Structure 1
Amino acid sequence: MQIDIATNQALADLCENAEGQAYITLDTEFIRERTFFPVLALIQVSWPGQEPVLIDPLPITNWDPFHELLCTPETIKVLHSSRQDLEIFFNQMGTIPKPVFDTQIAASMCGFGDQISYAALIAKTLGVQLKKGDSFTNWLQRPLTEAQVRYARDDVAYLPDAYEKLVELAEKQGRLKWIQQETRDQLNDNLFRNDPENLWRKVKKVGQLKEKDLVVMQALAVWRDKKAREQDKPVRFVLSDEVMVELAKMDQLTLDSLRSRRGIHPKFVNRFGEHLLKIHAEAREVPKSQWPRLKESRRRGPSSKAENLADLAWILIKEIAQRANMAPANIILKRELAPFIDATLQGRDTSQYGICGGWRKEMVGDLLIKLLDGQMTIRVENHHIIWDDHGIKDD
């Protein structure tokens, strides 16, 4: 079946028609199994009164009108589970669209559950059961099949109505500003800017390495990422994580030892062997004071007092989350609670904890401080958990 937009002029006309819209809905289809950068295969766009439009990115050479639309501050860009879609646009533009409204984030804060799927969201908000489609398909094939086109159109066909339902509900619950803040915190340009010096942390089984080997892994990871980008291949196609760990463990690297490693092709050694030897040797000369560490802070764990208070505080957090139809982990991870309480009791800086600012502070953070300061109590009354008279009571 034919795609709606396949020329520069048609794309420019579409963007002109979208000017002045309060919001547009977006989705993308892409392939990334054999490349470093995801290959954009299709863009779906819709807005109120506009049937879903499919854009074929393969013949498009002038993206300026579309990028201008994506960055228009007056037009909200609505997506569901948007992280991978935003990565596509970040790679194109060097920034993400702004502003963004992620319906998955919004749904989690409006009581629909954590990480709800698009199909489940549409069913719960609109009562529409979407037909199952084959999402794991070759979106680069042309022409697209009828099933592919139907699946792609459905991804934005119902999104405008779902978005408006979520906004209406969020306004009733007084959570729209919370959603906007959470979206800004979770989705920003920094999410897609890799720090080369920390790439080693993403290597599987890096925890097996001794402290002296981490500096070698750091250097190898930087080199691997650079080569993968240059060749537009997944990093595993350059060097697998398993091989990286084995090379980092070696006190000295030689061409013979490279050739003897499983997972390294002779052609790879001929092409990159000498350079890898140099990288490995130079990393071994880095002084201990500059070695990276798995844990930057060696501070002691939380005190037993903090651990006990965390158990009590968790009861409060779970109760508040339940009444708000939210998952407690959306407010704070349980493993972070005792360290937060320990830092609070010790008078240390707690600004790193999300519960100290924004909607989390408003919802729970201030109550926790009152609890720790002895300004409130928790009790059971008629089989219900009650805490003083600080604004939250059972109906």
Structure 2
Amino acid sequence: MQIDITTNEALAEICASAENQPFITLDTEFIRERTYYPVLALIQVSWPGQGPLLIDPLKVTDWDPFHVLLKNTDIVKVLHSSRQDLEIFYNQMGSIPQPIFDTQIAASMCGLGDQISYAALISKTLGIQLRKGDSFTNWLQRPLTDAQIRYAQDDVRYLPDAYDKLVALAKSQGRLNWIREETAAQLTNDLFNPDPAGLWRKVKKVGQLKEKDLVVLQGLAIWRDQKARELDKPLRFVLSDEVMVELAKMDKLTLDQLKSRRGIHPKFVQRHGESLQETHARARDLPRSQWPKLKESKNRGPSDKAEALADLAWILIKEIAHKANMAPANIILKRDLAPFIDATLSGKDTTKFAISHGWRKEMVGSLLVSLMEGRMIIKVESQHITWEELT
């Protein structure tokens, strides 16, 4: 068994064949253990009437026809748990494909399970049990084994039929627009272009630091990310989180301290020590007004009335989610409920809450308004929660 597409001409040909399709399905295989950016090793694609085609990124050099296909807004791009695949395409094109239909998001919205695996999706939608394979394998080796090729093919072999099933189910439930809305909200270019000023929050054990040291960690985190991109190395290969926290605690950083620090190679200090030292010093000199905070200062908490209504509203939301076969947290996080109710009762702006928009508002919004205005009765009948809106 061999990879199907290994030349620019072959890729252009299949892209031309797909340009009038209503949708295409996509998957990727990549390696990123020793690099900052994922190293693309294989692309799988299929569409109605066309079985799996495997594209070899180690051979193809002209990606323009493929990118035109991905940017064609008349063609839906169907992927499962697509975030990492989209990162590949973002790195190639500077943007993610549009529009996207993520079958994992769709499955959760249709009541098939939250964070469902691809194998479980195919089982639930098509009744097919996929063969087990080893996903943690060297996709950069050539030639690929027959087992690798079969595994890769299966990742898109059944997606067209699963997509059709999900669309039909979503239409029958009146949730297709919900899925489109949620996918567009979750999968954006911003996922792959994070604010550098917030990178420090991802460092482990950040809670060990005093407020005056957080600003140093912030500077170090920005420096580390820039250096990792420049070297194309994982963050931990530049500086580990443990070292970052220890350096942030220091009032002043010297080259001798770097050389004696466990976890930092002498060659690293030789090449990057002065730059790291300057970054540390600049951050330490920043005024208190520019220091980041581990926890943003909070205003007055929700009122007692809002807290009480939130407890009651959570019962209602859980019952609605149960009937829809959805996780309540997909509608609203419990910790956000009391602040939302408090803002509503106080006549404040609630647009920052997702429940104020789109399908979430449609699903529970009017009910919550009735509850807050005292126009609802919640009761237990035959061991089930029921509710009635009063006119």
Alpha-carbon displacement from aligned partner over 1:160-190 (angstroms, at most 9, x marks no partner): 0000000001001000000000000000111
User: 2:375·2:389 contact (CA, 8 Å) conserved in 1?
Assistant: no
Structure 1: how far apart are the matches of 2:223 and 2:385? 55
In structure 1, runs of 5+ residues without a counterpart are: none
- What is the 5 A alignment of 1:373-392? 373-389=373-389
Give the match for residue 255 of structure 1.
Answer: 255
Residue aligned with 1:104, SS: helix
Residue aligned with 1:115, SS: coil
1:201 matched to 2:201? The reply is yes
Give the match for residue 82 of structure 2.
Answer: 82
Give the match for residue 304 of structure 2.
Answer: 304
Structure 2: how far apart are the matches of 1:331 and 1:293? 29
Structure 2: how far apart are the matches of 1:100 and 1:65? 19
User: 2:375·2:390 contact (CA, 8 Å) conserved in 1?
Assistant: no
Residue aligned with 1:377, SS: strand
Q: Which amino acid aligns with 2:302?
A: P
1:210 matched to 2:210? The reply is yes
The offset of 1:390, in angstroms, is 7.7
Q: Which amino acid aligns with 2:275?
A: H
Give the match for residue 267 of structure 2.
Answer: 267
1:17 matched to 2:17? The reply is yes
Structure 1: how far apart are the matches of 2:62 and 2:333? 44
Change over 3 Å in CA distance of 1:44–1:6 after alignment to 2:
same
Q: Which amino acid aligns with 2:64?
A: D
Alpha-carbon displacement from aligned partner over 1:14-59 (angstroms, at most 9, x marks no partner): 1001011000000000000000000000000000000100000011
Structure 1: how far apart are the matches of 2:310 and 2:189? 34
The offset of 1:255, in angstroms, is 1.5
- What is the 5 A alignment of 1:316-331? 316-331=316-331
The offset of 1:351, in angstroms, is 1.2
The offset of 1:304, in angstroms, is 3.3
Give the match for residue 118 of structure 2.
Answer: 118
**Which stretch shows the higher mean deviation, 319-328 or 378-387?**
378-387
Q: Which amino acid aligns with 1:367?
A: L
The offset of 1:276, in angstroms, is 1.6
User: 2:103·2:163 contact (CA, 8 Å) conserved in 1?
Assistant: yes
Give the match for residue 288 of structure 2.
Answer: 288
Residue aligned with 2:105, SS: helix
Structure 2: how far apart are the matches of 1:331 and 1:165? 23
The offset of 1:353, in angstroms, is 1.1
- What is the 5 A alignment of 1:89-238? 89-238=89-238
Q: Which amino acid aligns with 1:225?
A: D
Give the match for residue 357 of structure 1.
Answer: 357
RMSD: 1.3
Alpha-carbon displacement from aligned partner over 1:343-363 (angstroms, at most 9, x marks no partner): 223332221111110000000
User: 2:219·2:283 contact (CA, 8 Å) conserved in 1?
Assistant: yes
Give the match for residue 347 of structure 2.
Answer: 347
Structure 2: how far apart are the matches of 1:338 and 1:242? 37
Structure 2: how far apart are the matches of 1:299 and 1:113? 37
How many pairs does the alignment contain? 391
The offset of 1:389, in angstroms, is 4.3
Structure 2: how far apart are the matches of 1:178 and 1:353? 17
Q: Which amino acid aligns with 2:339?
A: P
TM-score where L is the length of structure 2? 0.97
The offset of 1:334, in angstroms, is 1.4
Residue aligned with 2:376, SS: coil
Q: Which amino acid aligns with 1:22?
A: P
User: 2:377·2:389 contact (CA, 8 Å) conserved in 1?
Assistant: no
Q: Which amino acid aligns with 1:83?
A: R
Structure 2: how far apart are the matches of 1:377 and 1:40? 56
Structure 1: how far apart are the matches of 2:340 and 2:209? 29
Q: Which amino acid aligns with 2:340?
A: F
Give the match for residue 2 of structure 1.
Answer: 2
Structure 1: how far apart are the matches of 2:12 and 2:212? 55
The offset of 1:207, in angstroms, is 1.9
The offset of 1:11, in angstroms, is 0.3
**Which stretch shows the higher mean deviation, 330-339 or 81-90?**
330-339
Q: Which amino acid aligns with 1:331?
A: I
Structure 1: how far apart are the matches of 2:374 and 2:260? 65
The offset of 1:382, in angstroms, is 3.2
Structure 2: how far apart are the matches of 1:32 and 1:297? 38
Q: Which amino acid aligns with 1:19?
A: E
Structure 2: how far apart are the matches of 1:390 and 1:27? 50
TM-score where L is the length of structure 1? 0.96
Structure 2: how far apart are the matches of 1:30 and 1:333? 33
User: 2:122·2:162 contact (CA, 8 Å) conserved in 1?
Assistant: yes
The offset of 1:260, in angstroms, is 2.2
Residue aligned with 1:243, SS: helix
